[in-house]
Amino acid sequence: MTAQTPISTATLPSRDDEVDLVSILKLLWRGRWWIVGATTISLSLGAIYAFWIAVPVYTASSTVALDSREGNVIEFESVVSGLSSDISTINTEIEVMRSRDLIGKLVRDLNLTADPEFNRALRPPTFSLRDWLADLAGAGSERSPAIATDQQILDRAINAVLAATSVTNLRNSLVFQVTARTENAVKSAQIANLLAEIYIRDQIEVKFDATAQATLWLGQRVADLGLELQVAQSDLQAFTASADLVTPAEVAGLNRQISDIRSRLASTRAQIDTDVGRADMLADALAAEDWPRLASLTGDRILDRLLALPDDDSKATALRARGEQLANIATRSERRGTAQIAALTTSLAELEAQINAQSEGLVEFQGLERKVEQARVLFEYFQNRLRETTVQQGIQQADARLLSRAVVPGEPSEPRRPVILALAAMLGLMAGAGGVLLREVRNTGVQSANDLEALTGIVVMGQLPMIGTKSSREMIEYLSQKPNSRLAESFRNLRTSVMLSNLDRPPQIIMSTSSLPNEGKTTQSLALAQNFAGMGKSILLIECDIRRRIFGSELGFRDEIGLLSVLSGEVMLADAVQRDPQLGAVDVLVGDSGTSNPVDIFSSDTFRAFLTDARTVYDIIIIDTPPVLAVPDSRVIAQHADAILYAVKWNSTPRTAVREGMRLLETVNARISGLVLTQVDVKRMERSGYGAYGQYDKGYYSD
């Protein structure tokens, strides 16, 4: 027994998420036939679609220019103003051209409801899975096709035309491109041209309708205003005939008379006030016989002469008589002024009453005159507008013009066969590459010896090809019957690698194990035993997978006595071993049943002593052990092995299982001598690009 060297964790390379471009390219190269196949299939489908299935579509385009300039044939204001050139107007006109009303006119003009391309009801019936299933169920005969109304047919045709046409505005311009796509070249040009013509004609019709409506309304309005003018004129004439009106000049003369009377009335009142004061002073002077004062107040010359006479009785009498005479004159002057004021006041009142009466009538007259003038102005304006609108009905112009007509296309615009084929090839390449990458991602198995060595950091001692046999018995017979086969040579190579793994101390106890069941470890043990026996060595093959014990079930060995019987001392080793002619001189110690736990058995000193004794008897001892991940038996037995062969099934055993099995062996300081890639499908591996040297060994084997 040799000491085991622990496996360092540094030797186990980990799978990270770094992208290795070279590895990806190699992977794609290995899957090149999948990619070529996917590309070929995709190209074939694309060609079938482009050349046989796809319906040719022809595209035709006409251009319409929006003309915001207005022709000045006559200097009349239009009923409908011209279009502006802002973005909102452009977008509005695009929607107008794609309106259902205009498309409906197009459908009716071209009678597209009778065209199967725009009326599905006229197309021949196609296969429908739902209808077919309904027919199978017997419900097809009960269905009656719904009859569409004329409006429904028209609506569907309009929808189809909307889907087949488009209107776009050329960048930084007032030009619209009207495009039609149909299955007929002539039809596409007709639709593109007619839609543009209908749009231009619709503009004229809209203006004409608006002008006609405005003319009708203006005519009614002019008639109403004419009646209103006649009524106003009649009211003015009737008022003029019934009222005694003066002219404004006469009213002004009356106003001047009133001003004169008011002035005379004011001066008369002032004179009366003066006369009344003078009369009072004269009366006071006369009563006091103050003749000098009286003469001063009146300025009378007679009094002045009388005062100059000598004083006597006649003088006094004369002065009194003259004073009374002057007082009477002042009294009469006051009475005359009072009478004059009364007369002036009466005249002023009469003139003011006359002025008031004349002003009210004049105001009403002027109001009637203004009403007549307003009615006349409105009547004349609407009458002139009616004349202008009537003239405009014959000279309406569209705000757009047909810039270029659509020509009949010579080649279909769809399907674009080069593009379809290019896309099909690209999709095929992508699908093929994606499938290869997905297969690689989903395939957690090991593809080659290089992959296995990269995964574990341990050398791969052998690659065992897969043959058609299923059982271990058939495998042994195959190796016996075909000693020069590829499989036999693979086992001889494995044997050589094992023996040369340690030249100073060739391994004597060789343990065969794996991560999971059915990876070929038992077949590996049997074939190695057969190969070593062929060298003339004494070989002991021990079945330590005593939980399954397949030596008895598959190879036909008796399992009444075996390893446990020898360890318990019931029989001797020489009595317990068996031989099979196909294996040659190989002593086989099968695993028999027992009640003890296998782990306890393999951990016992008895088992250790048994192997020690066996070393003295046999040149090579091969131990077939259970899978590492299944039970702990292999980890215990590994303590006694000189060499450990770890079987990994090609393209099957998960990488995580391999790493986990090796990690478990590492926990008991067991060193794996080499890995064996089993059940390799050589042809598949060569097709995948892993068997680069497989073509060179074809002449060396019999199979």
- 3-state SS record for 612-626: HHHHHHCCEEEEECC
The per-residue DSSP string of 495-524 comes to HHHHHHT-SSS--SEEEEEESSTTSSHHHH
Residue scoring higher pLDDT (592 or 211): 592
- Rounded CA separation 400/420 (Å): 39
- Rounded CA separation 324/385 (Å): 90
What's residue 175's pLDDT? Answer: 92
pLDDT over threshold 80, residue 389: no
Per-residue pLDDT band for 228 (boundaries 50, 70, 90) equals confident
Q: How many CA atoms lie within 13 A of 624 on its CB side?
A: 29
What's residue 218's pLDDT? Answer: 84
| 368 C-beta neighbours (distance < 10 Å), count | 18
Is-contact 117 185, C-beta < 8 A? no
What are the tens digits of pLDDT across the range 580-639?
888 888 999 998 887 788 899 999 999 999 999 999 999 999 999 999 999 999 999 999
Structure tokens at 652: 């099957």
Is-contact 530 482, C-beta < 8 A? no
Under DSSP, the state recorded for 647 is E
**How much is the average pLDDT of 179-187?**
94
What are the tens digits of pLDDT across the range 496-545?
999 888 888 899 999 999 999 999 899 999 999 999 998 999 999 999 99
Percent of the chain at pLDDT > 70 equals: 79
Pairing of strands 586-589, 539-543: parallel
Structure tokens at 64: 């319409």
Is-contact 18 404, C-beta < 8 A? no
Is-contact 150 168, C-beta < 8 A? no
Pairing of strands 175-182, 165-169: antiparallel
User: Cα-flanking dihedrals φ and ψ of residue 168, to 5°?
Assistant: -130, 150
Structure tokens at 305: 């002469």
What's residue 213's pLDDT? Answer: 84
What's residue 275's pLDDT? Answer: 66
pLDDT over threshold 80, residue 668: yes
What's residue 247's pLDDT? Answer: 59
Q: What is the mean pLDDT of the chain?
A: 82
Give CA separation, 366 vs 225, 240, 248, 273, 354, in Å.
20, 11, 11, 45, 18
Residue scoring higher pLDDT (666 or 332): 666
Give CA separation, 246 vs 130, 288, 387, 544, in Å.
102, 60, 41, 151
What are the tens digits of pLDDT across the range 437-494?
887 777 788 888 888 998 999 999 999 998 776 677 888 888 888 888 888 899 999 9
Rounded to 5°, angle at Cα 503 from 497 and 509: 70
What are the tens digits of pLDDT across the range 81-101?
445 567 888 899 999 999 999
What's residue 451's pLDDT? Answer: 87
What's residue 341's pLDDT? Answer: 79
What's residue 146's pLDDT? Answer: 65
Is the preceding peptide bond at 415 cis, omega within 30 degrees of 0? yes
User: Cα-flanking dihedrals φ and ψ of residue 544, to 5°?
Assistant: -95, 0
What's residue 299's pLDDT? Answer: 63
Question: Tokens 């991940």, residue?
Answer: 629
Structure tokens at 45: 């489908």
Is-contact 676 702, C-beta < 8 A? no
CA-based R_g, the chain, Å: 67
- Rounded CA separation 291/303 (Å): 8
From 139-148, 281-290, 570-579, 647-656, the region with the lowest mean pLDDT = 139-148
- Rounded CA separation 488/467 (Å): 11
Give CA separation, 552 vs 156, 223, 271, 538, in Å.
80, 125, 172, 22
Residue 679's H or E segment, with its range, is strand 674-680
Is-contact 294 323, C-beta < 8 A? yes
From 443-452, 548-557, 594-603, 691-700, the region with the lowest mean pLDDT = 691-700
pLDDT over threshold 80, residue 354: no
pLDDT over threshold 50, residue 17: no
SS3 (DSSP) at 483: coil
What's residue 703's pLDDT? Answer: 60
CA dihedral 153, 158, 162, 168 (to 10 degrees): 170
Residue 556's H or E segment, with its range, is none
